[in-house]
Amino acid sequence: MAAIARNVLRWSDAASIPLNQIDVSSPALYHDDAWRPFFARLRAQDPVHYCSDSPYGAYWSLTKFDDISHAELDHGTFSSSAALGGIQIEDFLGGRNVVNFIRMDPPEHTAQRKLISPIVAPANLINLEPLIRSRTENVLDGLPRNEPFDWADRISTELTSMMLATLFDVPLEDRRKLTYWSDVRLSVVGAPDSLINSEEERMAEMAEMAAYFRAIWDRRIHEPPKFDLISMLAHGEATRNMDLGTFVGNLVLLIIAGNDTTRNSMSASLLALAENPDEATKLRSNPQLVQNFVSEVIRYHTPVLHMRRTVRADIELRGRMIPAGSKVVLWYISGNRDEEKIPDADKFIIDRAKVRQHLSFGAGIHRCVGDRLAELQIRILWEEILKRDLKFEVLGEPDRLYSNFIRGIRRMPVRIH
C-alpha cells in the first residue's frame, strides 16, 4: 500500500475546485468522511473523469452505476490481471504484493474461484447458521450494561474472527491473528492508524502468516480432503501446486474477503440506525424488515470503496475515449449513490424498493463469492439484538480507517441502556 497521499481535498473544495484537479484517490477523503460532494459533482458534470496526476499515477474514474456495471461485466476489455496492474488504484508491484485469483482473468480465475465456492454455497450456509447464531447469542449476552465498550472490537471483530477461524478450521484461540494480518495487509504506511512503519515490516508479518498457514497446509495435504478453505486449496487441482506468492496471495484474499466486508458493515449497521432514528423505529416495530435492512446497510456503507481495472483496448464511454492500457477505477461508493439508478440514494431507507440493487459486492465473474455469508452474519446479529430489545447508544464519532480501498470503522464507542 502506498504512503500517505498528497493533495488532500476538503469538503469545502468540492464546488470550487476545477474539475480537472479533482483527485478522489486520497485515503484522507474517506478517513474524514468527506467524499460525498466530490462524487456528486463528478456524477453530474464528468461521470467518466480523468485525473492526470495523483500519488498513484494517472487514472480514469467511473462514478455512475450503469458504467461501473458495464465494466464489471465486460471482463474481456476491463482486466483484473496482476500483470496489467491488478484490482486497486495502487499498481500491483510483484516485489511487495502477492498474486491471488481476484487479480486474475479467466480461465485461471475461474478455476481457482470454483474450488472455494462450495464453502459459501447455500447448502453449507444452512449448516453454518446454528453455529453463527449460538456465537452471536454468547457475544451479545456477554456485553457490559450501562458502561462504554467498543462495538467494533467486542461485536464486529469478535464475530467475524470466529467465522474466519471456522472457515479455515484453525484453533479458535488464533482467531485474532487472522484479522490482525488482514489489518496489516491493508495498512497505509505512514498513516496515523498504521500497524506498520515500512513495507519491510509488512512483508515480515506476511511471512509469519505464510509460515503459520504452511504448517497447516503440510498437515492437510496428507489428510483426506475436508470442508475448509486450506484443505480445499491443498487438494484442488488448480491450486495444490501454487508457488509461495500465489499461496500467500490467496490466503490474504480469503482473510480480507471473509472479514472486512462483514466486520465493517456490522459496525456501519448500528451507526446508520443511530443517525437515522426513524429507520431504527421502523425496524423495531417490524423485525421482518431485517433482511432488507441488511442489504440497505451494505449499499449505504459500501465497505469496498473501489475496484480497479486496466483496459485492454481503446473504449469509448459517454463520449470519452479511454486508451488501451489505461487504469480505470470503479468507484462503488459513488455508483451506490447514483440517483438516476437508486431513488433518494443519499438516504438510508430500510424498506426501499429494489433494496438488493447495489454494487457493494461487485458484479459478473468477480462478484463477491461470500456475499450470502456476509448477509447471513449481519442478519443473525440483528435478529438477536431485536429479540433481546437491546438499546445501543453511540457515544461519539467512529474512528475510521485511513484507506481508499476499504471503508472501515476501527473503533466505535457505544453503551447499552
Secondary structure letter of residue 167 according to DSSP: H
Segment holding 44, helix H or strand E = helix 36-45
Residue-range definition of the domain harbouring residue 267: 11-416
Higher pLDDT pick, 144 / 191: 144
Query: For residue 192, with 0-12 CB atoms within 10 Å meaning exposed, 13-18 middle and 19 or more buried, which class applies?
Result: exposed
Q: Residue 151's domain is classified under what CATH number?
A: 1.10.630.10
Q: At 95, is the pLDDT very low, low, confident or very high (cuts 50, 70, 90)?
A: very low
Q: Which residues of 105-121 are buried (b: 16+ CB within 10 A; e: fewer)?
A: beeebeebbebbeebbe
Segment holding 311, helix H or strand E = strand 306-311
**Residue 96 confidence (pLDDT):** 44
Whether 261 is in a domain gets the answer yes
pLDDT in tens, 303-320: 999 999 999 999 999 999
Lowest mean per-residue pLDDT among 44-48, 94-98, 152-156, 177-181: 94-98
Say yes or no to pLDDT of 137 above 60.
yes
Residue 160 backbone phi and psi in degrees, to 5: -75, -30
pLDDT in tens, 21-75: 999 999 999 999 999 999 999 999 999 999 999 999 999 999 999 999 999 999 9
Say yes or no to pLDDT of 5 above 50.
no
Whether 173 is in a domain gets the answer yes
How many domains, the chain? Answer: 1
Give this prediction's pTM.
0.92
Whether 204 is in a domain gets the answer yes
Q: At 4, is the pLDDT very low, low, confident or very high (cuts 50, 70, 90)?
A: very low
Lowest mean per-residue pLDDT among 210-219, 270-279, 334-343: 210-219
Whether 6 is in a domain gets the answer no
Whether 34 is in a domain gets the answer yes
pLDDT in tens, 376-399: 999 999 999 999 999 999 999 999
Whether 4 is in a domain gets the answer no
User: In whole angstroms, what is the distance from residue 265 CA to residue 260 CA?
Assistant: 8
